[in-house]
Chains A and B, each alone.
Chain A
Amino acid sequence: MFTLFRRVFFAVLLLSASHNLLANNADTQPSLTELSQQLISANYKEKAALADQIALIEDDQTIVILQALLDSRLYYVKSNGQLLLVDSSGEPDSAQDAFTLQAVTGLGKRDIKKIGVNNSLRVALRSLISRAQISSKHKSQRMAAAQNLLKSSDDIDRAFIDQALQRETDNSVAEVLHLVRALMQLKADQTEERIEGLTALDGALYPEVRAGLSEFIRSFSDEEKLSRKNEYQLAQTTLTDIEKLVSINGYIENLYFGLALGAVLLLAAIGLAITFGVMGVINMAHGEMIMLGAYTTYVVQLLMPEHIGLSLVVAVPAAFLVSGLVGVLIERGVIRHLYGRPLETLLATFGISLILQQAVRSIFSPLNREVATPEWMAGTFMINPALELTWNRLYIIIFSLMVLALLALVLKRTLFGLQMRAVTMNRPMASSMGIKTGWVDALTFGLGSGIAGIAGVALSQLTNVGPNLGQAYIIDSFMVVVFGGVGNLWGTLVGAMTLGVANKIFEPLAGAVLAKIMVLVFIILFIQKRPRGLFALKGRAVDNG
């Protein structure tokens, strides 16, 4: 009964609208301002007609005014009839001119008056706003309107959707509108129409579609399940199909998170792979190099608070230098004296890591510091309604691959890289060929530490920066190196990505902590099978003992 009434009402509205359109074409078109001004003195019936006319005016302000009217936020000044937008509190302080949006001051509560609306007008206004939006010039507004319709399709009329669909030129918006239409069809009286709606919903990923479908399925009584068996089954298969798709998208999302985690691990572990691979040095202070990089980012941002985006670009070389220098210092000061004694090196570097942690704690306070994320890294991009990915993770994946490529280039194409590889393969031989192994060691250590610093810049965008930042990643980094094989960039890449993805794939199955434990146990078992990692390096340096 109510729908019938609504249809009639709409038909009248549409008729009057088209009538007005004709009239407007004949006369000069009344402006938004004139029509809106008439709202002040109009009764509800006239208001409906006016709103109708206003909705036809192609102006960005149209929607604002209609929305304000709907929300009872449209006021006017009693003395001169100026239209005002007031916020939901109704305080005159917040008043703006409805057309210019400039603040209007000096008004008391008694100087202004609300333009009232009643329920039937509200219903009409809602559809009008949707309609105004759906016929907007901007695609994004049309998309927003269509998605809004998807959320609350109860107030609108099928004919209106059909009309919008005919007008719509953009495929993606049309798709959403089709879904709105299909959802409405589910409530139709004829079986064919409902089935048509169900077919149209197949494969739609919007959560509203899922909600609508499950509501539809729930609406079946036990007898209906038998009498409308086909329909019921179709609805169920559609829903399970959609849910399957959604879960596939969930897996893709997990994969993406896993790759991002892998990229972080790659950045963290790659320096370790270098120092361990070339020098056989276990650097337990590696995590603190990452931390230093993250704090460098923080300091750079303190120095240039106006340019957050630029500061990140500056922070990358700065962090590389800071961590690299500290690395060279550690190598010259301590590690140099401990070559050939890996266990002692491990202990000494652990001591250094404690000192660095405490130093940072004393200088910057033990509390976490927050590093701002530049705008271009924030936010998400949508691939489909069930899959939204964050930008910062994408940047980190790209960034880590860039670092890897750059490093590979340094190792393969520069003299330093050549010497480094020579030292890795056979230290005494390289030394007798005239390579200064000590010098290569120091620079290698600096390079590995510098890359850890860069990892710190990336990490500062994902987590808070604190003195324990490095600790959280050091064990994982070691796992990556051990898993991938020492001194091998490909091994590190594969190791990092495998561990990252494995962590995130197990996570929904077993919970974050258990996933981590499973990965650790897996590595402990894996190392039994291949004690030298996935890609063991062939060289003399590897066989010791």
Chain B
Amino acid sequence: MTQTKQFGPLTRLLMNDAAGRKLLLVLVLMAVFIPLSNLLLPEGSFFHVSTYTMTLLGKYLCYALLAIAVDLIWGYCGILSLGHGAFFALGGYAMGMYLMRQIGDRGVYGNPELPDFMVFLNWTELPWYWLGFDQFWFAMLMVLLAPGILAFVFGALAFRSRVTGVYLSIITQALTYALLLAFFRNDMGFGGNNGLTDFKDILGYSLQSDNTRAVLFVASVLALILGYLISRFIVTSKLGRVLVAIRDSESRARFLGYRVEHYKLFVFVVSSMLAGVAGALYVPQVGIINPGEFAPINSIEIIIWVAVGGRGTLFGAVIGAMLVNYAKTYFTGAFAELWLFMLGGLFVLTTLYLPKGVVGLWAQLKEKYQQKKYQAEAEDNPPALNTETQSKAAPEQQDKLNFVQGEKV
């Protein structure tokens, strides 16, 4: 997708996506007004957005991009990855390594080459995998490549041997768990338990200044918009149709002659790169990256953002990420004890009552209304044979059928 061609596809992408258009509009407005009000308006003003709020919003935007990445594979291809936090964290570490090298000799030990924790561990030179991270372009390349390569290798292995469903979920969880344990080790050379922190500046601009924060915020918005458009491009393309077919019936798609594993692998790698970018934007705004980001619970939380927002709708994922994280910020501050109850309750309630999330609630109500109308019509005409046989199936089976039907976009 080059810049010059963007006008044509852009209209095509957003043609049938009213909600997406609104979302993008809001995002563009945010990108313009929030930094302006932060930088130009005086602090006492009603419309002034504090740097804290802006950074917090920037953090949510990164989460939203991550949610889109997960929605792309789970909502459209049925791959429930319980380890997507790993790709997010890898992107974050790549960025963190660049920021670490930028500290230079301003660290506690004043070593121009080595980050503090390496001096502390009595290392004498940079390990080979830290080379090149003093260059911004190289670090950015790694933000894409590190998660991408891991996803490629892992996905190629898993999809080729047809590891699907819960098995895949469990081994993705094992993957992020293994990485969690690995990054906790000091010998790994990624700062161990403490991770990477005490960043000073990015591309020569201080991370503490409001200007840099504003730029980072705008970058996050742009990344989210770009991520949305890329995902939208994928799901509206012919390839996207195949993905949905794979989600709904993998064997059938395979029997029709599609190389299912190739499609899955492609979308898995793209999704991991999006997650990596989200992580890379997250780290300079939060100021730290540590192995805790690999914790399996983090990856599962991403799933709940998507589920709450509405699986299988890209803007739903964005809304879900924003909503749940706002609730998290609010409740962990106000009633710390209640937060896990709430989060747990969210999992149970959304899966039981909101299979299509907040976004789907409206559609669900509309569908119910239409069904009533349809039933009223059906009483005049005899119902189709197909629905007859379905209603006689075992209750569990029926549940499944209903779900598959309800899932189609």
In the assembled complex, how far is the CB of residue A275 from the closest CB belonging to chain B, in whole angstroms?
12
Are B337 and A528 in contact (CB-based, < 8 A)? no
Q: Within 8 Å of chain B (Cβ to Cβ): is A385?
A: no
Q: Within 8 Å of chain A (Cβ to Cβ): is B403?
A: yes
The docked-state distance in angstroms from the alpha carbon of A347 to that of B351 is 7
Are B347 and A348 in contact (CB-based, < 8 A)? yes
With contacts A334-B348, A337-B352, A340-B396 known, is A517 near B178, CB below 8 A? Answer: yes
With contacts A478-B173, A513-B185, A521-B178 known, is A351 near B346, CB below 8 A? Answer: yes
- The digit string for A304-345, where 1 denotes a CB below 8 A from any CB of B, is 000000000000000000000000000000100111111111
Are B347 and A527 in contact (CB-based, < 8 A)? no
Are B164 and A427 in contact (CB-based, < 8 A)? no
Q: Within 8 Å of chain B (Cβ to Cβ): is A479?
A: yes
The docked-state distance in angstroms from the alpha carbon of A345 to that of B355 is 12
In the assembled complex, how far is the CB of residue B382 from the closest CB belonging to chain A, in whole angstroms?
27
- The digit string for A483-524, where 1 denotes a CB below 8 A from any CB of B, is 000000000000000000000000000000110110011011
The docked-state distance in angstroms from the alpha carbon of A525 to that of B161 is 10
Residues 337-391 of A at the B interface (beta carbon under 8 Å): 337-348, 350-359, 361-362
Are B165 and A334 in contact (CB-based, < 8 A)? no
With contacts A338-B351, A342-B166, A529-B161 known, is A513 near B181, CB below 8 A? Answer: yes
The docked-state distance in angstroms from the alpha carbon of A369 to that of B347 is 29
Are A528 and B157 in contact (CB-based, < 8 A)? yes
With contacts A513-B185, A520-B174, A531-B162 known, is A357 near B396, CB below 8 A? Answer: no
Interface centre among A361, A427, A478, A525 (most CB of B within 10 A): A478
Are A358 and B400 in contact (CB-based, < 8 A)? no
In the assembled complex, how far is the CB of residue A238 from the closest CB belonging to chain B, in whole angstroms?
37
With contacts A348-B347, A478-B170, A525-B157 known, is A520 near B177, CB below 8 A? Answer: yes
Are A354 and B170 in contact (CB-based, < 8 A)? no
In the assembled complex, how far is the CB of residue B156 from the closest CB belonging to chain A, in whole angstroms?
10
Are B347 and A354 in contact (CB-based, < 8 A)? yes
Q: Within 8 Å of chain B (Cβ to Cβ): is A545?
A: yes
Residues 362-409 of B at the A interface (beta carbon under 8 Å): 394, 396-397, 399-400, 403
Q: Within 8 Å of chain A (Cβ to Cβ): is B184?
A: yes
Are B80 and A346 in contact (CB-based, < 8 A)? yes
Q: Within 8 Å of chain A (Cβ to Cβ): is B119?
A: no
Q: Within 8 Å of chain A (Cβ to Cβ): is B344?
A: yes
Are A282 and B341 in contact (CB-based, < 8 A)? no
With contacts A348-B351, A351-B343, A354-B343 known, is A545 near B170, CB below 8 A? Answer: no
The closest CB in chain A to the CB of B348 belongs to A351
**In the complex, what residues of A have CB within 8 A of residue B314's CB?**
none
The closest CB in chain A to the CB of B303 belongs to A347
Q: Within 8 Å of chain A (Cβ to Cβ): is B298?
A: no
The docked-state distance in angstroms from the alpha carbon of A343 to that of B350 is 13
**In the complex, what residues of B have CB within 8 A of residue A347's CB?**
300, 303-304, 307, 347, 350-351
Q: Within 8 Å of chain B (Cβ to Cβ): is A209?
A: no
Residues 168-218 of B at the A interface (beta carbon under 8 Å): 169-171, 173-175, 177-178, 181-182, 184-185
**In the complex, what residues of A have CB within 8 A of residue B240's CB?**
none
Number of A interface residues, CB 8 Å? 48
Are B303 and A523 in contact (CB-based, < 8 A)? no
The docked-state distance in angstroms from the alpha carbon of A514 to that of B178 is 9
The docked-state distance in angstroms from the alpha carbon of A345 to that of B397 is 15
Q: Within 8 Å of chain A (Cβ to Cβ): is B237?
A: no
**In the complex, what residues of A have CB within 8 A of residue B250's CB?**
545
With contacts A334-B352, A482-B171 known, is A341 near B344, CB below 8 A? Answer: no
Interface size on B, as a range, is 35 or more
Indicate which residue in B157, B251, B300 contacts A350 across the interface (CB closer than 8 Å). B300
Are B178 and A350 in contact (CB-based, < 8 A)? no
Are B182 and A513 in contact (CB-based, < 8 A)? yes
Indicate which residue in B296, B304, B337, B347 contacts A475 across the interface (CB closer than 8 Å). B296
With contacts A337-B352, A358-B337, A358-B340 known, is A528 near B158, CB below 8 A? Answer: yes
Are A528 and B163 in contact (CB-based, < 8 A)? yes
**In the complex, what residues of B have CB within 8 A of residue A544's CB?**
165
The docked-state distance in angstroms from the alpha carbon of A262 to that of B341 is 33
Q: Within 8 Å of chain B (Cβ to Cβ): is A30?
A: no
The docked-state distance in angstroms from the alpha carbon of A545 to that of B162 is 11
**In the complex, what residues of A have CB within 8 A of residue B80's CB?**
343, 346
Residues 266-299 of B at the A interface (beta carbon under 8 Å): 296
Are B174 and A524 in contact (CB-based, < 8 A)? yes
In the assembled complex, how far is the CB of residue A226 from the closest CB belonging to chain B, in whole angstroms?
42
14 sampled A-B residue pairs with Cβ under 8 A: A282-B166, A340-B400, A342-B165, A346-B169, A347-B300, A351-B343, A351-B346, A352-B344, A358-B341, A475-B296, A479-B170, A517-B182, A520-B174, A528-B161
Task: With A344-B403, A531-B163 given, name 11 new contacts (CB 8 A).
Answer: A282-B166, A343-B166, A347-B347, A348-B352, A355-B345, A358-B340, A513-B181, A523-B171, A524-B157, A524-B158, A531-B162
User: Chain A interface (Cβ within 8 Å of chain B)?
Assistant: 282, 334, 337-348, 350-359, 361-362, 427-428, 431, 475, 478-479, 482, 513-514, 516-517, 520-521, 523-525, 527-529, 531, 544-545
